[in-house]
Amino acid sequence: MSYITTLRDAPQVLTNGTSACQGCGGELIMRKIMQLAGTNSIFAVPPGCMAGAGAVGWREQNGCRAPMHIPLLDNTASFLTGVSQLYQRKGRGDVNIIGIAGDGATADCGFQSLSGAAERNEKFLYVCYDNEGYMNTGYQRSSTTSHGSKTSTTPTGSVINGKQQNSKYLPLIMAMHNVEYCATASPSNMADFTRKVQRAIEASKEGFAYLHVFSPCPTGWAFKPDQSIRVADRAVKSNMFPLWECDKGSFKLNFVNKNPITIDEFVQGIGKFKKLQPEDIAILQACADERYEQVRKLCEA
C-alpha cells in the first residue's frame, strides 16, 4: 500500500470544520498527523494557531476525537514527559504521545523543556509546524523567522528593513541531541511527509522523535491562500527548506536538489519579502546554500 493510499484511507481524528485561516499550512499538518496517528493517541497542542483554530472544539464539543490537552506555551515537552512516563508505568507504551506546536512554542519559549526531553531521550513525538513567527498574536518575529521578513516587530522602513538575523536552524540542533529520530518535512511532499510521520511514531516507542514541518502562512506572510502548497514546494526546490532525516544517528537527504531554483524565485508573491533589497536576497541565498551543503556533508559522512 502506498503512503498516499494509507493517508487517504485513514479516518479523520480532527473534526471537519476548523476556524483556521484559508490555506493554512498548520491546519493541514495537524490534521494529517492526527489522521496517521489515530485515536489511540494523546495530543498536546500549546497556545498558538492550532490550539485556537479548532483543536479546542466549539461550545461543549471537543474538536479532536482523541484526548487533546493545551499545556502552557513553554512546557509542552515537560507535560508530554509526564504523560509518557505515566503510560509506560501503566504498561500502556502502545499509546502514541504526540506534541504539535508552533515555532514560538518550540524554538523560543519552549526550547528549554524541549532540549531537556530530547537529551533524556523521552519516549514521545514532538512536531513543530514552522510558520516563522508568532502568528496567533499578530505575527511577531520568532527565532525561526527568515532574514528580511516583515513582521509586526520587524517592520520595513528607513531604520530597519525586516528581520536583521538569519533564522535559527532548529531541526539540526535537535538532531545533535542524538535523538532516536529527527526529520524535516513539507506539505508539498506528502508521500515523504506521511512516511516520516509513521517512522517518527514508530521511533517514539524507543526514544525521542522530532519532526520539523514547513508551514506556510497566507495571512502572516501575505500571499494568496491557494498558493500555500506552491510556496512550500518552492521552499524545498530552492533549498530554503531541505528535506532530510536522521534515523538513529544516520543522516539521509530525501530530496537531492542538484538544480535548485534561486531564492529570488522562492520569494516571488510572498508579501513579507516584498521590500527585500538585493543584499537581503544575497544573505538568504548564502544561508540556504550553506545549510544545504552542511546537511549534504552530514549525509555523505
Identify the pLDDT of residue 301: 85
Q: Over the range 10-29, which residues count as b (16 or more CB within 10 Å of their CB) and which as e?
A: eeebbbeebebbebbbbbbb
Identify the pLDDT of residue 16: 77
Report whether 61 contacts 68 (CB < 8 A).
Answer: no
Place of cell 509526564: 82
The CA–CA distances, whole Å, from 91 to 88, 95, 206, 209 equal 5, 10, 14, 20
Q: Does the CA dihedral 30-36-39-40 come out positive or negative?
A: negative
Residues 6+ apart with CB under 8 A from 8: none
Identify the pLDDT of residue 194: 96
Identify the pLDDT of residue 33: 96
Per-residue confidence in pLDDT tens, the chain, 301 aa: 577 788 888 899 988 777 788 999 999 999 999 999 999 999 999 999 898 765 666 666 667 889 999 999 999 999 999 999 999 999 999 999 999 999 999 999 999 999 999 999 999 999 999 999 999 999 999 999 999 999 999 999 889 999 999 999 999 999 999 999 999 999 999 999 999 999 999 999 999 999 999 999 999 999 999 999 999 999 999 999 999 999 999 999 999 988 999 999 999 999 999 999 999 999 999 999 999 999 999 999 8
